[in-house]
Structure 1
Amino acid sequence: MGVDVIVVGGGVSGLVTAVVLAERGLRVRVWTREEATETTSSVAGGLWWPYRIEPKELVGEWSTATLRVYEEFAERPGETGVRLVAGVMEGSRRSGLGPWSARLDGVRDARADELPPGHMEGVWARVPLVDMPAHLGWLRQRLEAAGGTVELRAVASFAEAAATARTVVNCAGLAARELVPDEGLVPVRGQLVVVENPGVEEWFVSADGASSETTYLLPQPGRLILGGTAEEGHQRTEPDPATAAAIVARCARIRPEVAGARVLAHRVGLRPARPAGVRIAAEHRPDGGLLVHNYGHGGAGVTVAWGCARAAAALVPDR
């Protein structure tokens, strides 16, 4: 069978972009150097919230488009891995959120009894919380149902993919730094701790955009995710024990019962951040083919996945 499009990258951005293209009738193949469960997307906490991502004038539309899709998916959580869960974004007020918040039903300033001791303000909202390993598996099934395929294959250059398909879509995440090349793409290291859930039902996030430390508790099926870090420029993929202990300590100040929770796993992911903003653009190759870029989502790839995928797919011609 011929191939119309090669999507390079098998994380959430690559799989969603491939799904959009395959369901449009194109013959799509995803080339990924690792299984979806080994990607940075699989490590992600999975909370929908526009966070550390540019350009702001486009992020709202991408985020809202993705929100609407997840709201539909949340009607089938056991199948899709997406649920709508209530929680608090500490340190914010409703009036300080971006224009995107006007499209978020029920968002409001948190009441005093909804905030941990010592915290003065926050925003309460019911938003999508995505069980990433389950969701990535479901996306692959949806892609295959549309006729697409996934192939484990490391890519040294986009020319390799261009030899197979006239259109190549770059969803390579941090690997785009060398493949494009784009020196403006930087790793932002995120470490988290997975524990048995001692009864936490609502999510909580306290994040300072200027700090390398964040505090979050994200209840996922069968586990609780504790975080985290945002260490710009750091590329260590091994969990650091001292960092893990600090994460648990910060989260225990929010929910004391977390301190004694049994640790199930430690996780590290390198977010592909691009201070200049997400890049969605098309380049005509000298050989007559097309290279479409969709990368630089930082820690918000889950939040903008469908909006960005549709924007990138709009640059891909039909057969």
Structure 2
Amino acid sequence: MATIAIQLPYTKGPEVLQLTTDKHCYAKEAKLAGTVIEEARRVIGRAREVIGRNREEFNVANSANIPHMEVPTGTNIVANDVKRAVNDAVEAVENAVKIKIDASKPDNAGQQSAYEETFVRAYTNATTKIDEATEATARVHQAGVRYDKAKEKTVLVVGGGVSGLMTAWILLDKGHRVSIVAKDWAETGTEAKGITSQIAGALWEYPPGSCGLSEIEVPVLAYSKLEQYQEWAMQSFLFYERLQTVAGTASGSTASGSTASGSTASGSTASGSTNLSFGARMINLYQFFHHNYSNEGTATAETKAGANANEHYQKYIRIRDLGRTEGSFRDKLQTSIWDATGEPNGSGEWVNALAAVNSTGFGLKWGYRHRAPVIDTDAAMKFLMELVRDKGAVLETREIKGDLHLHERELMDDFQADIIVNASGLGAHTLANDDQIFPVRGAVKRMNMPHPFLEDNAVLLPAQYDIADNPSKTIFIVPRREDTLVVGSIIQRNNWDLSLTHQSPEVMAMWERAKEFITHLQENRGLGEDERPLAQGLRPFSHSNVRVSADNRTNSCRVVHNYGHGGSGWTLAVGCAWTCVKLVEMILHEGKSGSVANTEVWGLKQY
């Protein structure tokens, strides 16, 4: 078992998402770990006696008997997480004590200034570690307390895509019973078919996305705004980045024990454990543009093309600044920028990137790069389905027709559910009686990897104005796995038909444009681009943006919605699921109406 702990930015309070990656329920493990909480508090209390309220009260004498925390053999991973946090704090205090003692030795009398500077750093680190241990202990205690409430409640999730399964995972780890119903499920072992979540490109993008269709419209009564998209996206970013780290360290673990990170082996894990192969990995994303931005990045250009370039530049600045600030994202995004005026052939990492594209033929003026998660959706959907089943979720194939509000009591009786989560994607058009939902048809080709550079680098030419000032199509080049490349994309609003083939005119045009842009596609033959089935699906867009809110048509309604993610399902999935679960718990455990829960989560009325 591995624990994923992610400090969620942009949320009210020091919230942390805690999940386990196997059949165990995190909240139940926290309940069982409750026996170590008092010991943790005792050790933390002794550490605080040494630290005092400030540096002047630092008391070396109190450190004589400061203990390290021990837990019984066989204690679960949650208890070990607490132990690790507490002992990190103890070691930080011990380091500060050692520096203070060394500073008092006669041989070091002439180095007091240097010792004091070192002590200040050590003291600050110790207080930080003690605070972190205190918070970790409190989180485990609260998770255990809430488990008693959660285990008595059942949630029915409608929808078997990434939004529904991610929401189910969080609910299960909080101790709830979960049933999931869906008309269709992801198919594994074949590329011929798949639900939208499975055939998606699944490249993380900082909102707004670059698919060429406005994913974030701005009606007065929108369900969500750009800032909320960005919060959800960054929460998902941290989850995927952390999940990759956990999976990477898991390979050195044993089935019966745990490593320093608390992970079990990827592959054959402890009895009953889910294989830790979610399929998330971090790659470089390069984006290119036809028109220059203004030096200030302000939309002063007289043409639409210039204004569009400035909008992309402002997005780059936002991503760059996120990676430079103190906090969760520091050094994780690793941005860089290229300008054809100064370096037409690029330098550093840009040399290989520019060698991969037809910069002259496409009149590229600048671009930027940052780190981004990409998801192998076949592996991820398999992982999620196995995981929620292992955690106890009941999965049922069923098509629900008509407004959920009308079927609410019937469904809750059938599944003995206390509340319903609607994560039905396009199905929300009827299930939520939402006429703002509409499909956007998409398709991508999957083929053999043509060049080593593309194994770990994605290339995106966003929809924009080309060098002739005509609206252009998106070019989307993304590694699915190290041996598979995804090329797209087609974007067709309000088209419900899924009969595209490799010979369809728009598919052939998409492929020709990609070959013209990516030099490695021109240089290689035998990529199998027409041999694998064409991946096509319907993206669930909404004129009113993503909806994560409780249905408030009546005060007694017990439906929470999570739909309308457009082409950003994987980008938004974790953040949206976490918000959805918060709404569920406010209604179930705090007795709040949907309207009140919406207001407290969003600070504004949800329509």
TM-score by length of 2: 0.50
Higher mean alpha-carbon deviation, 191-200 vs 56-65, is at 191-200
1:195–1:265 contact (8 Å) kept in structure 2: no
Paired residue secondary structure (2:534): strand
Change beyond 3 A, Cα 1:145–1:98: farther
> Counterpart of 1:96?
315
Mapped pair 1:6 → 2:267: no
Higher mean alpha-carbon deviation, 151-160 vs 41-50, is at 151-160
Mapped pair 1:36 → 2:209: no
Instruction: Give the 5 Å matches for 1:180-195.
Output: 180-195=432-447
Partner of residue 545 from structure 2, selected from 229, 252, 277 = 277
Offset of residue 287 of structure 1? 9.6
Mapped pair 1:248 → 2:446: no
AA in 1 matched with 2:336: R
> Counterpart of 1:214?
474
> Counterpart of 1:58?
228
Q: Structure 1: how far apart are the matches of 2:180 and 2:472? A: 33
Change beyond 3 A, Cα 1:308–1:28: same
> Counterpart of 2:577?
309
Change beyond 3 A, Cα 1:99–1:276: farther
2:287–2:367 contact (8 Å) kept in structure 1: yes
Change beyond 3 A, Cα 1:212–1:36: farther
Q: Structure 2: how far apart are the matches of 1:33 and 1:20? A: 22
2:157–2:423 contact (8 Å) kept in structure 1: yes
Offset of residue 107 of structure 1? 1.6
Deviation string, structure 1 residues 79-138 (Cα, Å, up to 9, x no partner): 110010112022365543474551452122146333421322222112101001110111
1:63–1:100 contact (8 Å) kept in structure 2: no
> Counterpart of 1:299?
567
Offset of residue 42 of structure 1? 0.4
1:61–1:100 contact (8 Å) kept in structure 2: no
Change beyond 3 A, Cα 1:79–1:190: same
Mapped pair 1:27 → 2:177: yes
Q: Structure 2: how far apart are the matches of 1:179 and 1:273? A: 15
2:444–2:488 contact (8 Å) kept in structure 1: yes
Mapped pair 1:161 → 2:411: yes
Paired residue secondary structure (1:280): strand
1:193–1:247 contact (8 Å) kept in structure 2: no
Offset of residue 53 of structure 1? 3.5
Higher mean alpha-carbon deviation, 48-57 vs 107-116, is at 107-116
Partner of residue 493 from structure 2, selected from 201, 212, 232 = 232
1:87–1:125 contact (8 Å) kept in structure 2: yes
Q: Structure 1: how far apart are the matches of 2:168 and 2:537? A: 22
TM-score by length of 1: 0.92
Higher mean alpha-carbon deviation, 240-249 vs 59-68, is at 240-249
2:172–2:391 contact (8 Å) kept in structure 1: yes
Offset of residue 248 of structure 1? 1.4
Higher mean alpha-carbon deviation, 306-315 vs 260-269, is at 260-269
Higher mean alpha-carbon deviation, 140-149 vs 284-293, is at 284-293
> Counterpart of 2:237?
67
Q: Structure 2: how far apart are the matches of 1:195 and 1:73? A: 26
Q: Structure 2: how far apart are the matches of 1:213 and 1:162? A: 45
Higher mean alpha-carbon deviation, 144-153 vs 107-116, is at 107-116
Question: Highest Rg: 1 or 2?
Answer: 2
Paired residue secondary structure (1:265): coil
Q: Structure 2: how far apart are the matches of 1:232 and 1:209? A: 17
Paired residue secondary structure (2:533): strand
Offset of residue 212 of structure 1? 8.1
> Counterpart of 1:80?
278
1:74–1:128 contact (8 Å) kept in structure 2: no
Q: Structure 2: how far apart are the matches of 1:253 and 1:287? A: 57
* Structure number with higher strand proportion: 1
- Count of residues in Structure 1 that have an aligned counterpart in Structure 2: 319
Contiguous gaps of at least 5 residues in structure 1: none
Mapped pair 1:125 → 2:383: no
Change beyond 3 A, Cα 1:138–1:297: same
Contiguous gaps of at least 5 residues in structure 2: 1-150, 188-193, 217-224, 249-275, 290-308, 323-328, 340-345, 466-470, 590-607
Q: Structure 2: how far apart are the matches of 1:22 and 1:304? A: 20
AA in 1 matched with 2:492: E
Identity of aligned residues (%): 28
> Counterpart of 2:459?
204
Offset of residue 209 of structure 1? 6.7
AA in 2 matched with 1:96: K
Deviation string, structure 1 residues 230-259 (Cα, Å, up to 9, x no partner): 111111112242222112111112223425
Q: Structure 2: how far apart are the matches of 1:182 and 1:130? A: 29
Change beyond 3 A, Cα 1:278–1:5: same
Offset of residue 73 of structure 1? 1.5
Offset of residue 2 of structure 1? 8.5
Deviation string, structure 1 residues 19-40 (Cα, Å, up to 9, x no partner): 1111111101111111123210
Q: Which has the higher contact order (CA 8 A, sep 6+)?
A: 1
* Structure number with higher helix proportion: 2
> Counterpart of 2:56?
none
Q: Structure 2: how far apart are the matches of 1:171 and 1:110? A: 40
AA in 1 matched with 2:334: G
Mapped pair 1:109 → 2:370: no
Deviation string, structure 1 residues 61-94 (Cα, Å, up to 9, x no partner): 1111100000012222771100101120223655
Higher mean alpha-carbon deviation, 127-136 vs 50-59, is at 50-59
